[in-house]
Chains A and B, each alone.
Chain A
Amino acid sequence: MKLNTNSNVYTIVYASVMVVIVAFCLAFISDLLRPIQEANVANDKRSQILAALNIRDVEDVQAAYDRVLVKDMVVAADGRVLTERGGFEVESKAIQAKDDSEKRLPVYVCAVEQDTLYVVPLYGRGLWGGLWGYLALKNDFRTVYGAYMSHESETAGLGARITERGFQELFVGKQAFADSTFQTVTLGVKKKVENPAAEVDAITGATLTSNGVDEMFKTSLAPYQKFFIANQD
C-alpha cells in the first residue's frame, strides 16, 4: 500500500511526530551539555575578575582564581555583610535591583602579593547594548588597582576599543572617589579631562560608549558607599 503523502491526516501526523522527536533530541542534548557550558561561563567570569586584578592570559583560570581569592562576600546597600561566601553566584539582576534594600552586592576580596584588593562588578549601558566589567580597588577603597570591561555589541574599532588592554590600563592608579565619605564617584571617562587624578580621556568617535562607561562607574560604585565607609581603616 502506498501512503498518500499529500493527505491532511498524514501531514498533521508527520508534523506532530517530527516536532516530538526534535524536541526530545534537543532537550537531551541541552541536558547533556549544560554542566560543561555552565563551567565555561563561570570560568569566563573568573578570568574577567582576574583581568581586573591585572592578571591576564593565564592558562589555568580556576587555579589562579583560587590562589588570589580570599572570600567573595555579599553586602547590602546599607553596608552590612550578608554572607562571606557566595558573591560569585549573585545574579546581575540582584546587583542592579532598582530598590536599594533589594540590592545584593558582591565584593571579591583578593590577595595579590601583599595587597588586599577589593573587586566589584560594574554594569552599564553603551551605545548599542550592555556594558559590564570589574573594578579592583586598593584597601583604601579609593585607588583603582585595575579595571576590566567588555560589551555586548559596541561598534568595532570605536566603542569596542574599551575591551583593549591599553584603554583599561589607563584607569590604574585613578581615584575612584573624591574623599573618604565616598559621596561622589569621581572615576570617569571625559572628553575634556579636568581632574587627571580620576578621569580618563574618552575614545574619539565613541562618545556614547565613553559616556556609558562613565555612567557605569557612577551607578555601579555608588551603592557600595556605606560598605566602604564601614570598612575603611
Chain B
Amino acid sequence: MSLFSSANKEVLTGPLNLNNPVVTQVLGICSALAVTSQLEPAIVMGLSVTVITAFANVIISLLRNTVPNRIRIIVQLVVVATLVTIVSQVLKAFAYDVSVQLSVYVGLIITNCILMGRLEAFAMMNGPWESFLDGVGSGLGYAWILVAVGFVRELLGSASLLGYEIPFLSDCAFFHNGMMTMPAMALIILGCVIWAHRAINKE
C-alpha cells in the first residue's frame, strides 16, 4: 500500500473542502470568532491546531489497541491537553507577542470539538499514517477558514495585513471599520464563507 494511495489522499484533502470541519461540520466556531481579528494570530492558531490534531491523532492511533474502552475519552483528553500545554509553552518561549494576543485561546484548543471529533471518529479506528494525514487535513481545513476570515477582518478593520499597513488603503476611512474588529462581524463573514462554499458545492 503506497503512502499516498487515493484513499489516503482523500483523507488528507477531504477536510479541506467538502468535509471541512468549520464550514460543513460547523465545529470550532468559538475560537474561529475570537482569534481572527488579525491575520497573524489566525495563522498561528491554525498552525497550532494543525500540529496538535496531527500528533494527537498519531498518538491515539498508536495507543488505540491498548486504551481501556471505559476511559478512552479521558485518555484522548490527556493526550490533547499535554500537546496543547506543550504548544502553549513553546509559543510563550518563541512567539511571545502572538501568545499574548491568543491569550486563553491556546489553552482552549483542548475544548476544540474538531480535535475530540477526529480522535474518536478516526484515530481510534485507523493506523498512525492515515490518522496523521487526517489530522493534518482537518487542521488545515480549520486553518484556511481562519486565515480567510482573518484576512478580510484585518484588511477592512485596520487596513493592514500581518501588521503591515497598506499605504493607499489606510487613508480611506472605510478600511478602519471598527465593526470588523468585533466578533459579531467574524460570525457574519464566516456565514458568508459557508454560503459561498455551499453555493459552489451543490451537494
Contact = CB atoms under 8 A, between A and B. Distances in A.
A184 interface: no
Interface of A: 3, 5-6, 10-11, 14-15, 18-19, 22, 25-26, 29-30, 33, 36-37, 40-41, 43-44, 156-157
State the main secondary structure of chain B at its contact with A.
Answer: helix
A11 B82 contact: no
Contact of A40 (B37, B85, B93): B93
Given A30-B89, A36-B94, 6 more contacts: A14-B68, A25-B82, A33-B89, A37-B96, A40-B93, A156-B182
Given A22-B82, A40-B96, A157 B178 contact: yes
A6 B68 contact: yes
Contact of B78 (A10, A22, A30, A36): A22
Contacts, number: 58
Contacts of A43: 96
Contacts of A18: 75, 78
B181 interface: yes
State the main secondary structure of chain A at its contact with B.
Answer: helix
B78 A19 contact: yes
Interface of B: 37, 65-71, 74-75, 78, 82, 85-86, 89-90, 92-94, 96, 100, 178, 181-182
B69 A40 contact: no
B43 to A, nearest CB: 20
A6 B70 contact: yes
15 contacts: A3-B66, A5-B65, A6-B69, A10-B68, A11-B70, A15-B74, A15-B75, A18-B75, A18-B78, A29-B85, A29-B89, A36-B93, A37-B92, A37-B93, A156-B182
